[in-house]
Amino acid sequence: MSYETEDTRWAAWEARDRAADGAFFVAVRTTGVYCIASCAGRPLRKNVEFHDSREAARTAGFRACLRCKPDREAA
């Protein structure tokens, strides 16, 4: 599946789609963290922005989520 639009990314986020992990990263403005698509966190849509890479999320000022640990290497 392609995760090119914000709508498809949001749908993957809502579904906690493990297939989308690593395809994009979800940053939450209110907490300052970024997550993978399958993270259990559920922020409001208005507080979310999407990034193509973890590096882009970090450059934008976000830190890794302690719950989903988006910086760990994929198994």
Catalytic residue ranges: 35, 39, 65, 68
User: Could you tell me if 48 and 29 are in contact, meaning their C-beta atoms sit under 8 angstroms apart?
Assistant: yes
Residue with tokens 């999320």: 57
Tokens representing 16? 């906690």
Residue at 72: amino acid letter = R
The values of phi and psi at residue 34, to 5°, are -125, 150
